[in-house]
């Protein structure tokens, strides 16, 4: 039974599905009650096992599994989960690296060396 696709594109053709390994690794936590699943808009009943993404947002398991089958991002904050698309993962890591200031810092790079 494949819960997530093997790097297939999402509905809009931009986002691949989350990798099966990333989905299987997601923790199950007990809902404290009071909130709602933003996917289905139903209450997160106290004591029910729900899925917690790395960004700490929680969803009903069935809701988030359907979501992650089509895209690799959190429905609330767009935090990205890994995909099976190696090229896209490398691009994502380079983007993240540049965001935290790990790039060349404005220096020009030639043949892997700063000028």
In sign, the C-alpha dihedral spanning 75, 81, 85, 86 is positive
| Domains with residue ranges and CATH for the chain | 20-103 (3.30.40.10)
Tens digits of residue pLDDT in 58-88: 999 999 999 999 999 999 999 999 998 888 8
- The pLDDT of residue 13 is 57
In 10 A of CB 66, how many CB atoms?
A: 15
Confidence check: pLDDT of 90 > 90:
no
Select from 25, 21, 31, 18 the least CA-distant residue to 58.
Answer: 31
The predicted-structure confidence for 6-63, as pLDDT tens digits, reads as follows 444 444 456 789 999 999 999 999 999 888 999 999 999 999 999 999 999 999 999 9
Q: Is the pLDDT of residue 3 over 80?
A: no
């Amino acid at each position: 039974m494949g819960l997530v696709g093997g790097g297939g594109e999402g509905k809009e053709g931009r986002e691949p599905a989350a990798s099966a390994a990333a989905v299987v690794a997601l923790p199950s936590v007990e809902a404290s009650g009071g909130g709602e699943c933003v996917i289905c808009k139903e209450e997160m009943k106290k004591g029910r096992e729900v899925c917690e993404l790395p960004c700490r947002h929680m969803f009903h398991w069935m809701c988030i599994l359907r979501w992650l089958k089509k895209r690799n991002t959190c429905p609330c904050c767009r935090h990205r989960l890994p995909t099976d698309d190696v090229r896209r993962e490398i691009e994502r890591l380079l983007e993240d690296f540049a965001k935290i200031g790990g790039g060349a810092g404005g220096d020009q790079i030639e043949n892997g060396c700063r000028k």
